[in-house]
Amino acid sequence: MQKLNFYSYSFRFKNSENKVSIFDKIRKKFIILTPEEWVRQHVVQFLLEEKKYPISHINVEKVLKVNGLRKRYDIVVYNPDGSIYILIECKAPAIKIAQATFDQIARYNMTMNAQFLMVTNGLNHYFCKMDFENEKYQFLAELPNYTL
């Protein structure tokens, strides 16, 4: 797999039926290793190791309804009260981050109301803080670290 713009993390892999899988610590199972999954697993490690978010506050690949349609978010980080703190959209490294990606995560966030957004293709990372009052987001240099 391609080298990404993250620190180097250790992962567990397995090979079966000529398909490589990577172990997802959040879902507690092996997942087929696609370019997008490679990015997703790096983001999970980034949240756990660099940002120090508790594993119990992170959720991966769940269905949500947006305008009556079933969509799937990549990663969320919850606040201790169960509200959503960070919503993260992962793309494969070959996918360029464009306005459409920000539009997608903004649509998801209308339902989820996360305080922070992250969009990444593993090479380029964008972090935003929501301004719900003015219906826009402000770009940040970094996501906040976990604090109690």
The model's pLDDT over 75-85, given as tens digits with 9 standing for 90+, comes to: 999 999 989 99
87-118 confidence digits (pLDDT tens): 999 999 999 999 988 888 888 888 889 999 99
- Is-above-0.85 flag for pTM? yes
In the numeric block, the tokens 């219906």 are attached to: 135
Report long-range pairs for 57-66 (Cβ below 8 Å, ≥24 apart): 57/85, 57/146, 58/26, 59/26, 60/24, 60/26, 60/27, 61/27, 64/108, 64/111, 64/112, 65/111, 66/107, 66/108, 66/110, 66/111
